[in-house]
Amino acid sequence: MTFRVLVVCTGNVCRSPMAEQLLRVRFAAAGVEVEVSSAGTAALVGEPMTSEAAELSRRFGGVPDAHRARQLTADLVAEADLVLTASRTHRAAVAQLLPRAARRAFTLREFARVAEFVANDPSSELDSDAAPAASPDAVLDILSMSRGYAPPRPDPEADDVVDPYRLSSDVYEEAGRLIDESTAAIVAAFGGSKRVGREIA
């Protein structure tokens, strides 16, 4: 059965579709079978990505042209094995829609942080030899159990990806950088190389 990842932000026109597209291309390049989709807590339903976000996605190897925003629902959350959100606020919204999903809901940066903690833990079951053989479900179980042990960032807001919507190109660049770094670390956690799919332009 295919492992499903759902990425969530607010409008589903900037952060979550960019992360969706980078995860999709990077999982495929790594040979990891994962289905990735996205939605927004206050989606601009039917709208394409902003031109700035689409350009960033292309720069990092994504394919943004067919994207249209859709609204987050409890059914979408229920269908996902892992929910990755742009911010802690979105993570809370996911848990409010479906409380049992809280265990499998992380912010993008939080999941990357926990994954890197586990990867550097000598006692981890996800060492360099074991990781490629671990199923996505097993990886998620280990990271979910490890969440409370991974040292938090000094500033809790550092687990969020800044919202660039209607802001400057510098804010878009920062959001793109954080999404690029996070998605690379996430794919690496599931057995892919950290170098898969990084910036191509």
- Asked about 15 being catalytic, the answer comes back as yes
Packed helices 15-30 and 51-59: angle between N→C axes, nearest 10 degrees: 20
Cα–Cα dist 63/171, whole Å: 21
Is 155 designated active site? no
Q: Are 77 and 92 in contact (CB under 8 A)?
A: no
Instruction: For residue 145, give the H/E element and its range.
Output: helix 136-146
Considering the candidates 4, 58, 81, 121, report the single residue annotated as catalytic: 121
Opening angle at CA 199, ends 194 and 200, nearest 5: 120
Active site residue 141: no
What is the pairing mode between strands 3-9 and 34-40?
parallel
The active-site residue, picked from 14, 15, 24, 180, is: 15
Out of 9, 24, 26, 70, pick the active-site residue: 9
What residues are annotated to the active site?
9, 15, 121
